[in-house]
Structure formats: C-alpha cells, structure tokens
Structure 1
C-alpha cells in the first residue's frame, strides 16, 4: 500500500477549503479595487482632505489595502497548503504571524484616532489641536505600543507537529507541521498571559471607542434639536435665534442679506455633511469590532489547542474558517461605506467612472 504523505493530506484537505478560498479571492479582489479607487480619488480630486473632516480616510484605505494584500494572500496560501512536511518554514511562519498582527493593530490605532478626531470636531470644536511636536510624540508612542504588543507574537509563534488521520484511506496517519503557536508554548503561563493581554486590550479599546462615539452621538442629537428649535421659516423669511440675538434673513432684499443667507445655508450644509461622516465612522467602527472579534477569539483558542480546527466536522470547520477570515471583509467593505455616506466622494468617483466610460 502506498504511504500516506503530507501532500496526500493537503490534497484531501483541498476540497474542504475551496469555498473559503473563493471567498478570500473575492475579499482581495473587491477590496483591492475599492481601496485603490479611494486612494486615487483622494490623491487626485480631494486634496482638501486635511481640512474637510476626512483626514484619516486615505490612511485607513491604505491600511485596508496593505492588510488585504498581505493577510489575504497569507490566508489564501495557508488554505492551499495548510500542512508542512518539514520545519523549513519556521522563520516565514513567525514573520507572517508577526506582520499580520502589526497590520491589525495599526488598523485599530487608526480607528481610535478617527474616534478621537470626531470627538474633538463635534464635542470640543474650540479646543486647540496638538502641536507638531506633540503629534510626533503621539506617533512615536503609538509605534512603541504596536511594536510592544506584536513582539510576543513573533516569540510564541512557530510550527506545531500534528498527527492527522486520513478521511478517505482507512488506517492511514501522517505527521505534519502546522503554523500557529509554537508547541513549546502551547497552553503555557506566558502564552496564556499574552492571550489575556490581547483580550483585555481589545475590550479596553472597544470601551474607549464606545464612550467617544456615545458623546459624539449625544452632541449630534443636541445640535439637531438646537437647529430645529432655533430656526423657523415664515413668509419666505428665515429667523435664526442665536442666544439673546435674532438674525432676520429676508429673501430678495439686497446683496447683504443674501450673503448672510448663503453663509447660513453653507453652515447648515457643513453640519449635515459632518453628521453623515460621523455616522459613517460609527458604523465602520461597529463593523470593525464585529469582524475582528471572531478572529481574536479563534486565534486564542488555536494557540491553546493546535487541534482546535482539525477536530471539527466539515460544516463546523467551514463556519469557523469563514469567521476566522471575517476581518478581511471589514477591509474590503469600507470603500462602499465611503461611497454611501460621503456624497462628495461619491460624486467624484462617479465623474471619474463616467469619464473613463466616454
């Protein structure tokens, strides 16, 4: 009887991973087109990004694009060749686990920066923004945080040996190596402390995001009620109350009232746009939490038990694989949220597409 090898094992596993591999290709393809379009439009047509409340969108699009290309192809390569015959790929395994986590944490830092930026714009508009030296200090501190959280991943990652029984050939087993947690650190005190640290950090991160956006949402609600209660229209006249003063703006009564009216309408329009952007970022952050939480939970489970995914039946394995790669959906779907909520971006990309069609 022919010996059962690791190559035979990967061939058996191939039919099981085809649906998930197709989904990964869709994530990469759609996300690549979407995020590339975002970067192109913001680079060419929306150069006022630093003064329009959209400061972090191009940076987030770049982060999503890099994460999709790197983590997406790593996940795809893992799906195609899950098991290794030797330990030759140890260094590559460590680096892909380390860099993958770095990209995820950078994305999380951007979401926190967006939340803080929204909070300052909506809730503290008169607060002085940090100076250049303060921004540099924050950037260095963030870099140290990302590096400090990610380095243990490089240390604990490695190849773990597993014994797999063939599903098609009876009484055939083979030893193979799986990229994940180094078997020397599996379920050890240091590895478990690191897992707890990741979970606690994620909970604190999500709590801070929730608090910031609760304040943003409350402020938007208050401003909406303020505009409704202090602005009314009577006989083609707009009356706007501002504290103890009232400004009467009359249509067709000379250039000066028209100028004041234009400023007022522009302010209202800016207020509406800022609200749309705020709700966009809130929804994006919520989706980010929903998509990344399964990845964190499953990674912790896998680091404690190398057979966690292998001992499941086909349907359960498929569901867990989808959940494990769900974080890539978040990177792919963000450009569609930009197009839905940001009318200026939607108009710019529509003009570009129409021009290309002509």
Structure 2
C-alpha cells in the first residue's frame, strides 16, 4: 500500500502503476500540448526545408533558415518524443540509456537553436551597421553554423553524466524510476554548477539579442529610404529575424526562470498541488514552441514563401482531381523545386536560372 499526501489529504494506492497514472493525469495538459506540437512541427519544418532548400538562391539568410529548420525538425523528432515519454512514464521510466541519450540530444538541439539565433543577430547587425563592408559568404556561414552546433555539443555533454535514473522512494518501500537528474549525482555540486553555466549562456544570449536588435532598429531608422535601397538592405528580412527572436525569448524564458528558482531557492518554494504540478510541467516544455512556430513566421512575413506554398497546394489539388500527373504539371512542379548551384555556374546560366526562379525573400540582400 502506497500512502501519498496531496493537498493535506492522505491518498492510498496499491501499486506503483496507480501512482504513475496519477502523475500522468496531472501532466495531461503537457502531454496533449506535446502531442499537438509534433505533427505541426514535423510538417512545418519539412515544408520549410523543401521550399528554402530547393526554391531559393544561395544566401546567408537561406543558410540560417535551413539550419534552424533542420534543428527544429530534429527537436520535433527526438527532443519532444523523449519529453513526451518522460511525462507518460514519470515513475516507470526504466530505460536509463534512452533517458541519457534522449536528454543529451535534446539539450544539444536546445542550446544549438539559441546559439544560431544569436549568430543570425550578429551577422545582421554587421550587415546593417557596416553595409559597405565585405559580406559574409555562404560557405563561411555554413562553417559558422557547424561550429555553433559543435559548441552546443560541448555545453551539452555533461547531460550524459547528470541525467539518468532518479529513484523516487514512496511509503511502503516501493521505488519509482524517473528520467531526471541521476540519483548518483543528485546531491553533489555538479548539477548546480551545470545549471549555473547554462543559465549564464541563455542570459548572455537574451541580453545580447536585446542589445543587437536595439542597435539594428536604431541604425535602420537613422538611414533614409534611399540609403536603405542603395545598400540593398531589405527591412523585411530584419522583421522576420526579429519575429524569430521574440518567439525564441518568449518560449525559453519560462524554463530559464523555473531552472533559476530550483537552483537558487532551496526547499519547496512552490506549492505541490495538482494544478501547480501540471502547470510547471507545461511551462518547463514551452520552449518547444520555438521549434514549431518559425514556419508560421515565414508564411506570414515572406510573401514569396507564402506564394510558393499556395501554388504547390493548388497544383497538388489539380493533380488529385485530374487523377494523374500530366507532363505539363510534372514540368511545372519540377521547375518549382529545381536546385541550382550558383557557385559553379557560368554567368549566362546563372542569369537564366535567376529569371526562371521566383524572387528570393532577400531581393538584392542575398548576403543577409
């Protein structure tokens, strides 16, 4: 018999599974939330990769968006399912290897996303502040994104040690198995130190983004319309990047605040009621919104992206109604998703491809 006190009321459970089911019931809002995010995130990010990867000319802006879309897609395929399993098996998560690898992979993607958004802001500020300077090449941008993910791995590897099976002892001698901070290191200083480090990383990114985009907006306002056109600076790209940044900050802040509270405030500072338990679990995973919302931002802010999606849906609908793919429809769809390597084409071929493809969202601002 398990005795559990909840809201001052003594509750009795005969098995660990019953207690686990109670925890699952408390976390049902989080479970439903994560279930909804997965299909929207997977579909949205696949569409983003297809459209920007196959339809747009090479540019630094395109490299950043594709990198973000890949990271977001992996989060929807790895990070969210692991957290979903954690909420469905709060006391019966027996697979310690899956726990370690899943949490480690999710942490890489979480930190990597933050660092790439920071990198985007730095490069955008460089473009706005010194428009006549040498632009960053797409090759260098790809290398910077790869390096950023390598840095994310360096910040995340402690999860392989810190995360694992945490044993939850209940009255009656029954032991629960939770995927959380490993019981072997839970009472050491290492989890505290790691939380301080990651909290510092996120605070650095948050305040850097605030400063950079404040400077970007001030510089844009300082330039008149003629100067913006002359330097080929597209304000629409800046608006999209600001929207991406706002979504990132809003979705990441609750988890950072909860981490700070659990780190710096010892003891139970938050009441352990079913409503609070369910709400905290949801707020702690709210950062996954960042992995789903970007395709919506592109659809609203990039009229070319929106046009391509609408045209593709229309063609698919026509093909479906006609019961087959005609040669003209096949040719049109092929043109829509044709990939060209602008770095290895002669000037005549490049000009022909440029005329065949729709205008990039950057217009002339091809180097971010």
Give the TM bin, normalised by the shorter chain.
0.7 to 0.9
SS, match of residue 174 in structure 2? strand
Residue 319 of structure 2 corresponds to residue 352 of structure 1: no
What does residue range 1-358 of structure 1 map to in structure 2 within 5 Å? 4-46=14-56, 48-50=57-59, 53-84=61-92, 88-129=94-135, 138=144, 141-164=147-170, 174-223=174-223, 226-227=224-225, 267=229, 271=233, 274-299=234-259, 312-358=272-318
Alignment TM-score, normalising by the size of structure 2? 0.74
Task: Please report how far the alpha carbon of residue 270 of structure 1 lies from its aligned counterpart in structure 2 after TM superposition.
Answer: 6.0
CA distance in 2, matches of 1:286, 1:339: 16
User: What secondary structure, in the 3-state scheme, does the structure 2 residue paired with 1:160 have?
Assistant: strand
How much has 1:323 moved relative to structure 2? 0.5
Structure 2 SS opposite 1:158: strand
CA RMSD of aligned residues (A): 3.2
Looking at structure 2, the residues matched to 119 and 144 of structure 1 have their Cα atoms a distance apart, in angstroms, of 23
Higher relative contact order (CA 8 A, sep 6+): 2
Change beyond 3 A, Cα 1:344–1:160? same
Residues in 2 aligned to 1:310 and 1:353: alpha-carbon distance in whole angstroms: 49
**Separation in structure 1 between the aligned mates of residue 102 and residue 64 of structure 2, nearest angstrom:** 26
Alignment coverage as a number of residue pairs: 308
Displacement of 1:121: 2.2
Q: CA deviation at 1:57?
A: 1.1
In the alignment, the residues of structure 2 paired with residue 70 and residue 180 of structure 1 have an alpha-carbon distance, to the nearest angstrom, of 17
Q: CA deviation at 1:280?
A: 1.6
CA distance in 1, matches of 2:47, 2:300: 14
Q: CA 1:56 to 1:138, structure 2 compared with 1: closer, same or farther past 3 Å? A: closer
Equivalent pair of 2:41/2:292 in contact (CA under 8 Å): yes
1:236-293 residue CA offsets vs partner (Å, 9 max, x unmatched): xxxxxx8xxxxxxxxxxxxxxxxxxxxx9xx48965xx21221121121122112112
Unaligned 5+ residue runs, structure 2?
3-12, 319-368
Please list every run of 5 or more consecutive structure 1 residues that lacks an aligned counterpart in the other structure.
Answer: 166-171, 231-241, 243-263
Higher gyration radius (CA):
1
